[in-house]
Each structure stands twice: as C-alpha cells, then as structure tokens.
Amino acid sequence: MINQSRFEQPIKKANIYLIGAVAAMAGLLFGFDTGVISGAQEFLFQTFEVGSRSSALRGFVVSAVPLGALLGALVSGFFAKQLGRRKSIMMTAILFLVGTLAAAFAQNLGSVVFGRLLMGLAIGISAMVVPMYLSEVSPAKVRGTIIFLFQLAITLGLMSAFAINLGFAEWIHDTATNWRWMFGMGVIPSILLFLGMAWMPRSPRWLMLKGRKDEARKVLQYLLGKTDVSDCMEEMEESLKHEGGRDWGALFRKPLLPLILMTFGLFVFQQLSGINAIMYYGPEVFASSGFGEKAKFLAQLSMGLINVLATIFGVWVIDKLGRRPLLFIGFIGMIVCLGILSFCLASNGAYPSLSLSSTLLYVVFFAISLGGVPYIMMSEVFPLKSRSAGMAIASCANWLFNMLVSFSFGILVDKLGGMEHVFMLYAGCTVLGLIFAWRYVPETKGRHLEEIEHNLYEGKKPLRYLGNPVDHKEFEQPLNAFLKKEEEALSCCKN
C-alpha cells in the first residue's frame, strides 16, 4: 500500500553515490568509444590504406559502434530480465574489454570493425541497463541526480576522447601506432567497471521479480541503512500484481503504449536536436565557421569541457527544479543557439567567435535537459514487470536516430547546399520536440517508482500527470471497503 511517510526514510547517501559512480563507469566507456573515432580515424585509414574515396568503407568503420549499440539495445531487455541488472553490466564490461583489445591489436580493418561492433553491443546494453539499475537502487529523493551521473560519465568519456585525440595528434606522430593507443585507453575503465560491479548489490526490485524476497530485503536494509524495510517490500509486492512480463502485446495497448511513445519520442528528439552532428563532426563544423587546423580541435575540446561542466550543473539541479522546467529551458535555449549558429555558417566564417559561443551555449542547454532527461524518464515511468521491455524499445530509438543523424549529416550538407540549412533543420525538429515535451512529458521529481506505477494503474492518470502525488483517498476507499467486508465475513463465522 502507498503511504506518504515512506518517502521520508533515511538514505544511506554514501552507498548510493558509490553505486552510482561505479555503474556510471559504463557511461564513461560509452562517451569514450563513441568520441575516440573522430581523432583515430585519420591514422587508422592511413595504416590500412583506405583512401578518402572509399567513403562507404570509412562510414562503416565509424558507424560500427552505433550499429552494435542498436543490436545491444534490442537484446538489452532480455539480459536485464534473465541475467539481472548487475550481471548484465558485468557482462558489458567483458564485451568492452574484448572489443577494445580487438580494435587496439587489429591486424586488418575487419578486426577493427569487429572490435567496434563489440564495443557498440556493450554500449547499447549498458545504456539501457545502467539507468535501470540506478533507478532501482536509488531512493526517490536523489534518483534523478543518480541517473544523471550516467550522463555526466558519458560527457567525461567524450571529453577524454577529445583530449586524447588532440594529444596524440599533436605530440605522437607515429601514425601506425597512435590510433592503437587511442583505442587501448578503454581497457582501464572496462576492468574497473567489472571489478567495481562485482562488489555492488543486486537490484532489490529485480530480486523481487525473481521471487528472491530474503535477498531483496537484505539489499534494501543495506541501501536504506535500517532493519525494518517491510513497507518497501509491501510496495514492491503490490507492483508485481500488475500485468506485464511475457505479455508483449500489453506494451502496445493502454496504459503502456503512451509510455512507450513518450520515451521513444524523447530519444528521437534528443538525437534530432543534432547533438551528434556537433559531437562527431565538431572539427568540420568549426572549420566551416572560420577556425584553423589546430584551433578546430581546441574548440572541440572546449566543447567537451563545457559539456561536462553543464552536466554537473544538471546533476545538481535535476531533483530541485524538476524534469519539465529543465527540459523547457533546454529546448528554448537550443532553438535560439541553433538559429545563431546557422546564421554564422551562412556568413562564410565571418563570425568565428559568435559561432563558437553559440555552439558552446547550445551544448550547455542540451547538457542540462535533453542530455539526461530521456534516460531518467525511461527509467522512471515503466512499471516493474514491463520495465525491461519498455526501456529496450526506448533505447532502440536512441541508437536508430543516432545512426540516422550521424550517417546523414554529410549527405544532408550536400543535398541542402550547406551546413547552415542542416542546422536550421535541427532547429525545426527541436521546436517540435518542445511542443511534444510540453504536451506529454510528466513531472516525476521526488516520486517513488511504485507511486508512479500506482498512478498509472489504480489512479488511471493520463501520461502528463503520472508524477502527481498519489490520491490516498482513491486508494484507501476500496481498501477500507475490502477490510469492512472481511470483518463482516469474520463476524458471521464467529456468530
């Protein structure tokens, strides 16, 4: 039964933040492995003599990671449910390690592609399972902050990739080996992720799903720092009564279908905002804005740094301001910045400083909103029994549209006749995203996962109001009626 006092429980913050930091190591690898190719590709293609005309082959090497990630997202629900959240993350650490070694020691391009596909597979699985695990071990008060740590780790990974790219390109001129070192750096976080996760607790909600109540109780006692956790156990048992599980059809009916569409849509708009056109093709964009050879890499690195700093701000405010206000501020800021960037690009490099500042500000607005909120939303709104499947579908949107945007960028620049038009197109998509968020995204700040689930089933609340406080009367009336009936039945027996 849902009871307000439960949300005032003491939290063992140190435990939660430690878990957040270890699991988020997967985010670091996500950012690093997607970002490192922007610097490594030039040397890699020189080593294997891939000419600039073999654009399909080049494109295939670059997009092997998003392709692997799409496959990973497709199977992520299966692993999260069968193997469990913690073991699935440990499995991705092994995939990250093997993929990194295969790419770093590759003797031909095929092995590089194989290694990058494995890395992608690991990214696709972990980008779904890590936020899910974090949402299931964190108390409502700090849940947004903890999941946002995953996004922070992605940005740290991207920034380290940009820094390593610049360092190796500038100071290590042995083109036959420097790309191997660039890839190889991923070995350290992979080992740390594996060892760290081996010490972390399992998700109590997954344990309940598997009927392992005693273990779930122990984990809750550890997380909450108290021995009496019966109220939380009761809530989780309550949520297991809802439909879901093997019933895939339920995902495409009410009340789950709107959740699928909302989380899927958030990732579509995250990618259509053009963030990865800037992350993956940053140096080219800066060159078109009038930057020189070295300056374009420095500009990319400063963008990586700003991304990290703004995400730290996001981590700090997400559970104070809430998801919706951050989304709106972010969307509006991004639209304005994309417009200014497009103007700068149209003026043929006449305003390099304005173009750099609008790009950096765009990244700030992305980082505090669309960067983390889709991951948070997909981990919060799905009921326990359908969580794996629902989140897997939302993650597919992430990778499908990531591939679409990163693959189509060059083609669109040619077809539309310049980068300025492509960025205007992203601005248009972001306007649609703003309207979408306004109409459909709920505010879930401070809500317990089981409260959200209660609002969905018993409360029958529309999508937008899923995060509203639970109407206790609405829950207590049927319960009181039930208790009265029981009492009557008992008194009949006594008589």
Return the number of the residue (144 or 255) whose C-beta is nearest ligand BGC. Answer: 144
Nearest approach, Cβ of 154 to ligand BGC (angstroms)? 5
43 vs 267, beta carbon nearer ligand BGC = 267
Token pair in block for residue 397: 């949107």
231-245: b (≥16 Cβ within 10 Å) or e:
ebbebbebbeebebe
Q: Which is nearer to ligand BGC, 34 or 388 (CB)?
A: 34
| Interaction site with ligand BGC (CB under 6 A) | 151, 154-155, 158, 270, 275-276, 279, 307, 371, 398, 402
Q: Shortest CA distance to 109 belongs to which of 181, 75, 36, 59?
A: 59
Q: Which SS3 state, helix, strand or coil, does residue 418 take?
A: coil
By beta-carbon proximity to ligand BGC, the closer residue of 194 and 375 is 375
Nearest approach, Cβ of 403 to ligand BGC (angstroms)?
11
Shortest gap between Cβ of 431 and ligand BGC (angstroms)?
20
Phi-psi sector, 74: left (phi>0), alpha (psi -120 to 50), beta: alpha
Q: How far is CA 397 from the centre of its chain?
A: 11
CB 285 within 8 Å of CB 300: no
Using the minimum distance from each CB to ligand BGC, give the nearer residue, 279 or 389: 279
Of the pair 155, 289, the CB lying nearest ligand BGC is at: 155
Length of the chain (residues):
495
Residue type for position 178: N
Which residue number is nearest to ligand BGC in terms of Cβ?
A: 371
State which residue, 25 or 223, has the beta carbon closest to ligand BGC.
25
CB of 303: closest distance to ligand BGC in angstroms? 10
Alpha-carbon gap, residue 105 to 489, rounded angstroms? 74
Q: Is 422 helix (H, G, I), strand (E, B) or coil?
A: helix
Under a CB-based contact definition with an 8 Å cutoff, are residues 362 and 334 in contact? Answer: yes
Could you tell me which residues come within 8 angstroms of residue 368 by beta carbon, excluding any fewer than 6 positions away? 310, 311, 313, 314, 317, 326, 329, 330
Q: Tell me the closest approach of the beta carbon of residue 135 to ligand BGC, in angstroms.
A: 16
Give CA–CA dist 62/33, Å, rounded: 11
What minimum distance in Å lies between the beta carbon of 155 and ligand BGC? 5
Name the minimum Å distance from CB 28 to ligand BGC.
12
Match 């890699």 to its residue by tokens.
Answer: 44
Closer residue to ligand BGC, CB minimum distance, 63 or 151: 151
State the nearest-atom distance from the C-beta of 151 to ligand BGC, in Å.
5
The pair of structure tokens assigned to 126 is 């972990």
